[in-house]
Structure 1
Amino acid sequence: MFANYSHQKDSPLLVWLQERDAFLREFIRLEGRDDATALCPTPDCPMPAAFRCPQCFDTRLFCQDCIVANHTANPFHQVERWNSRFFDRCSLRSLGLRIQLGHPLGQACHKPAPAFGDGFVVITSHGVVCISLDFCDCTSAIPRELQLLRARLFPATTVDPRTAATFELLRLFQLLTFGSKVSGFEFYQSLVRLTNNLGEPVPDRYTAFMRIVREWRHIRLLKRAGRGHSTSGVLGTAEGECAVLCPACPQPGKNLPSDWQDTPDSKRWIYALFLAIDANFRLKRLSASNDVRDPGLNRGYAYFVEERKYKDFLASHTAVMNSVEPSTCNNYDAVKLASLRGGKGTTASGVGTIECSRHDMKRPVSVGDLQLGERYVWGYLNMDYLYFSSVRNHSSLDLVVSYDIACQWSTNLARRSTSYPPDLVAAANSHLSTRYLVPKFHLYAHRNDCQINYSFNLTPNVGRTDGESPERGWAAMNPVASSTKEMGPGSRRDTLDDHFGDYNWRKIISFHSTLLRRIQEAVPMRSDHVGDFLTLSTSLPAETTLAFSKLIWDWETGASTNNPYEAKLEVVSATKVRLALAQEDTAALAQEGNMAVHESISASVLISQGLDLQEQIARLQVDIQALGSAATDHQRTLALERQNRLLRRISTWQAVQELYMPGVTAVRRRTNSSPSGDISQCSIILPSDVLTQIPFDVRLAEYEWRLRHGLAFDYLAEVRRQLLVLSSMYQSKDRYSRGQAHNTRSVMLIKNVQARIVFAKTKYTMNRAALVVLSDFLGKEGWQSSLKVLADEDVRSLKGGDDASSSEGRRTLSWIWMTAMPSGAEVTETMNEALRIEWCKSRARAQRWQEECVLLQEEMRRVIQFHQSTANQWLTRANEAETEGARAYAWRQQAVRETLLTMCRETWKDVGQFVEMGEGAVKAGQPLIECCDRVRP
């Protein structure tokens, strides 16, 4: 049976297939007593052995008294009893095990108080277990709920508790919800089946279990935030204090230099805070329960804003809600409808959030429920509150805010904020310098003006930030939507707070590797794009780059409103393109018809005319092939007459060629390249074709080399020109073509232009191949650096949209645009504008990657300082703690931060040297790459 898998004989699964019988036998063996002894293996115990525990590592059989004694420290295991035929389950409670709380294990209580006659239910990782539990009622006894907690049992209530869950189970469930997003109901039902899979009654403690989970999460949240070490207790918790902060973001007092506020303008951008705004309409909540029946426990301590303040704000600003702001960009009705879909029967249509956009972490008090979408038609009220709530907890100098509708939302933000509470907007309106941008993926849905003015790629001092971090975060949160949509409002907010905190923590523990990967990518990309920009600048005339540099510097410094990235020329219409193509065809035919071959021809003219004839043959063959089988008689007649005229000229030229190249007739005869009735059988033999076959004057080869060298540049220029025409055609088609007739005509014109590009590329390749042969013969060197091999992937436009293989920030320019260009006829007004825009974009790409390297280094420094600061904070708490438990926990948290600190330092120890490698290396505060420092402002 394994014959077909002989080539995979080392596969572990295929090897295991041969051991299935042995595995099956062992599984069956475990169902019986096998070689177990008849008597209890405990020394001096003469009782028969009939009990075993599947959860214990010890698989031996014990007597009833010994199995109970062995489980004093493991009272929640479910043992099995041999009933003379097979093992069936039984509880330790039924065997007489009782659990005593309030005293060390094995110490008797003077006044034990049974919990309940029908047993105490404990939810464990082994199932739902009913036990016999005794509380301590001695005079020094602590409250019963504290007795349970000290036994690592979390009570379902503090009033006569009858149910509890083990800490082990709660940790397991919390991690499972983070990883697999399993719901509490599904998890509890799994425990029920683990307890009894026959459908027999199991104590129903699902409601109690979910209440325990909420309280467990809340206490753990407060514990991790250090509230157990504060004298003010839980009620002294400040808003957002329990959130897991981003170590890489600027956190004043934690990871910024003491004099960071005095940073000069040239360097202060590295301390900017990058925020991203977005909403998730999958995280709905159905109209179940209310805040009175199901209040939140966190109360604004973590990521969700304090609910009462939030609702009071929404209710008190009806004037803003009822004011419609007209859209000046593309209509977002589709977005509005998407946000409202499924809104029937929901109290919250989704969740809005503000988070750090460079590291994809939720920010404190920056999340809130949405009602009827993001209030698009009512003044963006929800998102305004969340934004100002987030900014209020930060004191940075600069903000970079990204939002998919930033062009609309930010327009009247200042006006709207005048009606908001002063304590909410004071921080944002007092000292912050804010720039508003649109995330890169969402930007293409906006108008052209927005794509220029709100672009991360074209905005200085933002690095390679894309603003799309919320989308990545929502992808991780969406699976929890199914379990939270039917929760009460408080339970849902607390649950999402817990998930957000875990998401942030997972980001933190992976910073050492994620930031390293980013800088390992950024340094080579910086070198490539800086090199491309300098090469492009060198290929242009000096006066051109000087003009471009002054234009973009004036725009960036605010000295001019003339946007260098904006196309000023009108898109060429299809009619104009069609006219231009017809005029070119007419000029080509006229040149062919007027070509005279004089009897007294010089050697240079002979080679020049031979090259012209080669082109005419190639053009005629393309035109004949384009006619196809459906050509009319008139079309075939015109093509035949054109062919005959060309054959006669070739015959005349070849007669003159024999004077300069004796023996060429024999070569023609051998290759069947003499003029005949079929132009496809005719070829022009030039010196490059017969360098070693016949003798001729070496000056002919020199003439051919010089002419072909010029022709190669001409065909390269033609490729560039036609690529610009093709870009205009695509823009014209997208803007003007409507209906099948117009689109069909546009497609035909595009195919025509593409055919011209293919022809020019083919002719360039043929000329270059001849140049290679001639250069070896003549000893020519250095020319190949300008005239490279033209591959298909090199034939791409200046326009970013034509290169769909990469994003704008990663796009590289083809070498054909970086070859030196003349400042004459080729650089037309259209090409000059295209070159200006691409030069500016190439400069922007180079600078964004330079900025990214600077920002990543700064973020690495901030992460290290943040971990050190947090470790010192926990050390202070340990020194001030009054109990051993408080000191132990603080020291453990200090050790955690020091471990993360060590991981980061070890991982990044060589980053400084690595960043200095390659082209374009700069440090914070130094000017980025330029090519014309003479006009730098």
Structure 2
Amino acid sequence: MNPSVPRLPPPTMPTLCLLPVRLSQSERGTTMPKYAKLLEWLALWDATLDEILQHDGLGDFLGHQYCIDCGDEDGLFKCKDCSGGSLLHCQGCVVKVHQHLPLHRIEQWTGQFFNKENLKALGLHVQPGHGGSMCPCPSPGPPGFMVFNTSGVHSYRYKEMHRVFHIWRNLMVLKHAGRGHDPEGIGVTAPGSLTVECPACPHPGHNLPDDWAQARMPGWGPFIEENAYQKFLMDYIDEPEINTCESEHDAIVRVQTCCTPGYAVSGVSLVICSRHALVRRNGASDLQKGEKYCNMDFIIFMALWGIFLPWIFITYDIGCQWSKNFRSRMIKFPEDMRIPAETKVDVAIPSWHINGHGERCRRDFCLGYTKGAGRTCGKEVEIMWSHTNALAPSVREMAPAAQHDTLNDHWNAWNFHKIVGFRTLFAKRFEEAVLMKAKHTEVFVKFLATFPLAVVKKWERMVLKWEDNPKAANPYNEPEQLTTLQDARLELVQEENAKLAAGHAPRHKVSMMGFFSMGFDIEEQQFIFKTELSKTKGKKTSKQLADLEEKRSSLIRQIHLWRPVQVAYTPHVATLFPLVHDDGNASHLLNPESVPLFFPSSLPASFRKLPEIKEIHNSERRLRELQADDALADVRRLRRIITGLWLFKKLNVSGTGNRPNTQMLDMYNRLHTKLQCAANRYHTTYNALLVLDPNGSWREQLKELNPADIRGPGRDPDDPEDMKKGDDQTEDEFNDTMCAEWAQMQARKCRWSEELLIIQEEMRRVLAYQEWRAGWWSEQANRRQDADPSVSSGIAAYAHKQASICHHMAAWCATYWLPIMKKYSIIPMWSQIYALPECQSSTQGEPESESESESESESGDEDNNRELNEVDEWSDAGILDVESIVDFD
């Protein structure tokens, strides 16, 4: 410090003068409405934001940066909790002033902006006890503990606090988006520019190379601009919604239903980036009556407004319906909202919802069959709703503007935390993609070696043809069951009618098909009754005994009614019926659930050889084959429902109380009972076929069903099944059967290969975007040339601070990813920019590998808060936590 340079006196604290205002009698008797007070504040919108930005710089100390206490040293430190956080102190004075205030938050001037510092690092030591005096025998305490503080309870000012919170939230959003750096002011804010953008998504000019396109070429936040939206909807009030899908999804069934009477809106629709679960710009809107096409069209086109990419991939719960006439509906929109004709748009159904759709939808809109989709699952929006649903009790009572502001604020916070989580999420996805690509490639190569090259080439042409034209034959389709049980019933009835027309007298007034139908129903009721008996073991109540006896009596009556029909078609069976008791008073049947029904398949071999049994023997064989196919279809359908029910309970019901959990358990038990019935029906049919036709062609299609086989759908190892050609199949027939299996295995291999490429590109985009964003913030530092010098200092300081955070975010991610990528011998092009010293990278432990990690976008989020607050010892990024990134005040 040069003593010859005259020093300016330290600045004095500003004085706040409060002047009493006398109100007239009429003014005292009226209350200004809330919106009027907010309109009054809007006149000071820009000035208020400037005052906030001023505190990010030197403010009143610009040009005379001396300690407010001693005046001898440069003031480099300020306390955010003392005197409004505007006074500067030297290191010695700030420690002295805070001897009894150890929990205040301190910041240090770096020359460009204020950075976080702590009193412990500045030399403050606190000895508890001793009445505030010095400890005669001081000793250092434990270094790694944390202290929590509260500011206490103050007088009730709820209305004023609510209003100020609304204003403050608005100002912070504008500040974080850099709107205070624009010379033209807040009023020129572009639609969607306040939304936290996804750095992993492609942004031309930001995180894409300059030559990327050589192959081709007020809603300020997530909510869209309301006036234009409502004006558009006025033309579609009575437009009908036509449904041709088999799904009973709420988006289809309740499209014309207003679920919440008395409310202006029935819900909110949302558009997110499906790979990373970040809310898109202008990607939210209110729904007036279900998810009508006009609502969803408008929000999707707004979310894609200004995006010029060669390919857009959209996942939607009812994409099978919404995608119909998509281009023709787009013509009704303004030209600047339309997707360019040369842009390819693919639509798929998320894996979470596709099991609720019909077979055609599962084939044509499956993400696993879509080229370029990688391992995208499309269910991230459900994770988003689980986060936002907790706000419903609060926002549904708000005015529309407050509701939009609140949701915008929460979604921006969600976006930011997802961006911070990219560090661990992308690392896990990368390792999983490397391992799974290798595994599925090996499995596919082994499977491929069993087929001639000409056959494989034929299959490849089928896949390419279907990818170019979805209306072509789908190679992923497994051979369909051409005949069902109901078709066989119709065929047998027609044969009987033909015999009647030819003059053959019927054996009984009940047809043969009616005989089998009644018998199959009794057979299943016997199993259900046995299952109920097994569930009520032990001492039973009188009601339980009465219910069981009623069901037993009903089953006995059905068997008695069926026996005469059975005797008419298989007369020799009468000799096998239970005998009369010795007393001769009454006939006695065994327990009806154990009574043998004596179908042809359960008759002795000598009976089955009789000419009279031949016709009904063949009829049962035909029906049993188709009954087995139907039973397997029921098993698969019920397993899909049970899996979806379990996932729904896990995400929405668990932890909500005993009543909803009990209801879900009851529903699960009912479905499980139906699954047991379907499995038993298949076992019974399979055993009957072993008797009726032990060497028939059905054995090539039907296998024994073991309990371990009843599982899924889920993430199985996807190993090839043990398949061989049947004796009665030609080579071409066998190859056609294997085409679907080959195509599905190739799709799994290709999707994992794509996933590995996509995740590497996403890593590069994140780094490129953060570096671009850092440069953008640096450019904002000097844009306000006409601002007051103290405001300009704050504007520049905040811009440099944000630029520094973006640089640190990029380095924080890159130095975590590089050792993992090098572990698998993958060296990205950006590795030289963020290269670690050899001594640091060699001492860093290898991150844990998780080959079976979840593909959901919430992976790694549970560790984010912990990772954000710990020191990364091997990274040049330094300490990075939420408070150092987000300016909460």
Identity, % of aligned pairs? 27
1:911 positional shift: 4.8
In the other structure, the counterpart of 2:812 is: 903
Q: Closer, same or farther in 2 for the Cα pair 1:568/1:629, shift >3 Å?
A: closer
Q: Which residue of 1 aligns with 2:159?
A: 207
Helix, strand or coil at the partner of 1:363: strand
User: Could you say if the C-alpha distance between residues 633 and 262 of structure 1 is closer, same or farther in structure 2, counting changes exceeding 3 Å?
Assistant: closer
Are the counterparts in 1 of residues 55 and 794 from structure 2 also a CA contact under 8 Å? no
CA contact (8 A) 1:794 1:815 kept: no
Amino acid corresponding to residue 200 of structure 2 in structure 1? A
Cα pair 1:569 1:830 within 8 Å, conserved: no
Summarize deviations over 1:144-183 as a string: whole Å, max 9, x none. 999999899xxxxxxxxxxxx98999x9xxxxxxxxxxxx
- State which of 743, 746, 753 in structure 2 corresponds to 1:850: 753
Matched, 1:113 2:17: yes
Alpha-carbon distance in 2 for matches of 1:361, 1:552: 33
Q: Quick check: 1:572–1:732 contact (8 Å CA) kept in 2?
A: no
Does structure 1 residue 224 correspond to structure 2 residue 176? Answer: yes
Partner of 2:770: 867
User: Are 2:331 and 1:399 equivalent residues in the alignment?
Assistant: no
CA deviation map 1:80-138 (0-9, x unaligned):
xxxxxxxxxxxxxxxxxxxxxxx9886585xx6335599xxxxxxxxxxxxxxxxxxxx
Partner SS for 2:367:
coil
Aligned counterpart in structure 1 of residue 226 of structure 2, from 289, 294, 307: 307
Relative contact order higher in (CA < 8 Å, ≥ 6 apart): 2
2:196 is matched with which residue?
244
What pairs up with 1:426-575 in 2 under 5 angstroms?
Answer: 428-558=339-469, 561-574=472-485
Aligned to 2:281: 364
- Cα distance between partner residues in 2 of 1:746 and 1:443: 23
Moved more, 464-473 or 905-914: 905-914
Q: Cα–Cα, structure 1 residues 491 and 758, in superposed 2: closer, same or farther, change >3 Å?
A: farther
Contact 1:571 1:728 in 2 (8 A): no
Please say if 1:750 is aligned against 2:750.
Answer: no
Q: Distance in 1 between matches of 2:720 and 2:190?
A: 56
Q: Deviations over 1:659-708 (max 9, x none)?
A: xxxxxxxxxxxxxxxxxxxxxxxxxxxxxxxxxxxxxxxxxxxxxxxxxx
- How far apart, in 2, do the equivalents of 1:208 and 1:849 lie? 55
Q: How many residues align?
A: 541
Alignment of 1:380-391 (within 5 A): 380-391=293-304
**After the TM superposition, which residues 590-629 of structure 1 pair with which residues of structure 2 at under 5 Å, given as runs?**
none
In the TM superposition, 1:691-770 aligns within 5 A as 729-731=631-633, 749-752=681-684
Q: Distance in 2 between matches of 1:837 and 1:147?
A: 67
CA–CA separation in structure 1 for the residues paired with 2:598 and 2:51: 105
* Deviation of 1:381 (Å): 1.0
Matches within 5 A, 1:71-90: none
Aligned partners of 2:318 and 2:809: how far apart in 1? Answer: 38
Q: Distance in 1 between matches of 2:454 and 2:602?
A: 52
- Give me the whole-angstrom Cα distance separating, in 2, the residues matched to 1:881 and 1:115: 34
1:445 Cα shift?
A: 1.9
Q: Does the CA contact (< 8 Å) of 1:365 and 1:390 recur in 2?
A: yes
Q: Which amino acid aligns with 2:753?
A: Q
1:532 to partner: Cα distance: 1.6
- 1:234 equivalent in structure 2: 186
Which residues of 2 match residues 93-242 of structure 1 at below 5 A? 107=13, 113-114=17-18, 194-195=152-153, 202=155, 204-242=156-194
SS of the aligned residue for 1:395 comes to coil
Q: Is the 8 A contact 2:247 2:356 kept in 1?
A: no
Q: What is the Cα deviation at residue 456 of structure 1?
A: 0.4
Q: CA deviation at 1:876?
A: 1.9
Task: Give 1:343 shift.
Answer: 2.1
Note closer, same or farther for the CA distance 1:108–1:471 as it changes in structure 2 (3 Å cut).
closer
Check if 1:886 corresponds to 2:886: no
Shift, 1:331, TM fit: 5.7
Q: Tell me, yes or no, if the aligned pair for 2:485 and 2:626 is still in contact at 8 Å.
A: no
Partner Cα separation in structure 2 for residue 804 and residue 489 of structure 1: 44
Q: 1:430 to 1:901 in 2, by over 3 A?
A: same
Question: 2:449 aligns to what SS in structure 1?
Answer: helix
Asked if the contact 2:53/2:794 (under 8 Å) is kept, the reply is no
Whether the aligned pair in 1 keeps the contact of 2:601 and 2:688 (CA below 8 Å) is no
SS of structure 2 residue aligned to 1:355: strand
Query: 1: CA distance between counterparts of 2:719 and 2:268?
Result: 41
Q: Secondary structure at the match of 1:871?
A: helix
More strand by share: 1
Give the Å deviation of 1:364.
0.7
Given candidates 742, 746, 764, the residue that maps to 1:839 is 742
Note the aligned Cα RMSD (angstroms). 4.7
The answer on whether the counterparts of 2:484 and 2:626 sit within 8 Å (CA) in structure 1 is no
In structure 2, what is the equivalent of residue 769 of structure 1? none
The separation in 2 between residues aligned to 1:555 and 1:147, in whole angstroms, is 61
Residue 816 of structure 1 is aligned with which of 722, 736, 761? 722
1:827 Cα offset (Å): 6.5
Q: Matched residues in 2 for 1:577 and 1:333: separation?
A: 32
Give the Cα separation in 1 of the matches to 2:706 and 2:207.
Answer: 46
**1:417 to 2:304 alignment:** no
1:343 lines up with 2:265 in the alignment: no
Does residue 804 (structure 1) correspond to residue 712 (structure 2)? The answer is yes
Write the distance in 2 (CA, Å) between the matches of 1:490 and 1:559.
44
Residue 895 to residue 816, structure 1, CA distance change in 2 (3 Å)? same
Cα distance in 1 between the residues matched to 2:453 and 2:331? 51
CA shift digits 1:203-224 (9 cap, x unpaired): x421111111111111111111
* In 2, Cα distance between equivalents of 1:894 and 1:470: 31
Structure 2 CA distance for aligned equivalents of residues 143 and 452 of structure 1? 58
Q: Distance in 2 between matches of 1:328 and 1:629?
A: 46
- In the alignment, residue 250 of structure 1 is paired with which amino acid? P
How far did residue 825 of structure 1 move? 3.8
Structure 1 residue 833: Cα displacement? 4.5
Q: CA 1:117 to 1:388, structure 2 compared with 1: closer, same or farther past 3 Å? A: closer
Post-superposition CA distance 1:635-678 (Å, at most 9, x none): 99997999xxxxxxxxxxxxxxxxxxxxxxxxxxxxxxxxxxxx
Q: Deviations over 1:869-903 (max 9, x none)?
A: 11111122235565211111111001100111101
Q: TM-score, normalised by structure 1?
A: 0.51
CA distance in 2, matches of 1:407, 1:856: 28
How far has the Cα of 1:546 moved from its partner? 3.9
Asked if 2 retains the 8 angstrom alpha-carbon contact of 1:572 and 1:729, the reply is no
Select 1:259's aligned residue among 195, 204, 211.
Answer: 211
Distance 1:550 1:745 in 2: 43
| TM-superposed deviation, 1:516 | 0.7
Amino acid in the other structure paired with 2:239: S
SS at 1:246's partner residue? coil
Which blocks of at least 5 consecutive residues in structure 1 are unaligned? 1-102, 119-141, 153-164, 172-190, 197-201, 269-298, 580-627, 643-721, 760-789, 797-801, 918-937
What amino acid maps onto 2:418 in structure 1? K
Contact 1:574 1:746 in 2 (8 A): no
In the superposition, relative to structure 1, how do residues 331 and 641 fare at CA in structure 2: closer, same or farther (>3 Å)?
Answer: closer
Distance in 2 of aligned mates of 1:824 and 1:566? 23
Structure 1 residues 535, 754: CA separation in 2 closer, same or farther (over 3 Å shift)? farther
**Offset, 1:419:** 2.2
Whole-angstrom CA distance in 2 between matches of 1:724 and 1:515: 48
Contact 2:447-2:720 at 8 Å conserved across structures: no
Q: Which amino acid aligns with 2:17?
A: A
CA contact (8 A) 1:406 1:438 kept: yes
Partner of 2:73: none
Deviation at 1:312, TM superposition (A): 1.8
Change (3 A) 1:167 1:341: farther
